[in-house]
Amino acid sequence: MTSKILEINSSTNELGKVSLFLEEFLHNNRLNINDFNRIYLCLSEAVINAIIHGNKGKEKKIISIELSYYKPFLNVKVVDEGCGFNFTDIPDPTKADNLLKENGRGLFIIKCYSENLSVLDCGNSIVFKMLLNEQS
């Protein structure tokens, strides 16, 4: 098992650090770089949710990102300092009333691309795992 943690401030300006963190993790663990876009899509959705909804855009609050590799899965954990949320209260973005909304798809995207999505603690922590392709 290989694990690494990155802490960032609650700002979308920090997304470059998240991208670099993921790229370095894949490279250092000799994982398939072709998985990068799929993983980064989910990871960035989780981080943006943590910034906007969890920490309410308060830049002094911290977001912790943990990547762990257990062959063949990459486990991702994103924790914010917010009050959390109730996962069952999130509207289904595929329902007719929500189709034209510009937001509300982050968790849906993560659920579609990951093997498992869990909301932990009081809802200020999400964990998902992604099946990685074999290195070519």
Q: Which two tokens stand for residue 28?
A: 């250092």
C-alpha 17/C-alpha 48 separation (Å) is: 13
Query: For residue 103, what pLDDT is reported?
Result: 65
| CA end-to-end distance (rounded Å), the chain | 21
pLDDT at 120: 85
How sure is the predictor about 7, in pLDDT bands with cuts at 50, 70 and 90?
very high
Q: Which residues contact 39 (CB under 8 A, 6 or more apart)?
A: 22, 26, 74, 76, 130
Residue 101 has pLDDT above 90, yes or no: no
pLDDT score at 122: 82
State the Cα–Cα distance between residues 42 and 78, nearest whole angstrom: 11
The answer to whether the Cα torsion of 95, 101, 104, 109 is positive or negative is positive
- 108: three-class secondary structure by DSSP: helix
The larger pLDDT score, comparing residue 121 to residue 36, is at 36
SS3 (DSSP) at 37: helix
The answer to whether 27 and 33 have CB atoms below 8 angstroms apart is yes
Q: Which residue reads 């650090």 in tokens?
A: 17
Report whether pLDDT(106) > 90. no
Residue with the larger pLDDT of the pair 100 and 27: 27
- By three-state DSSP, how is residue 93 classified? coil
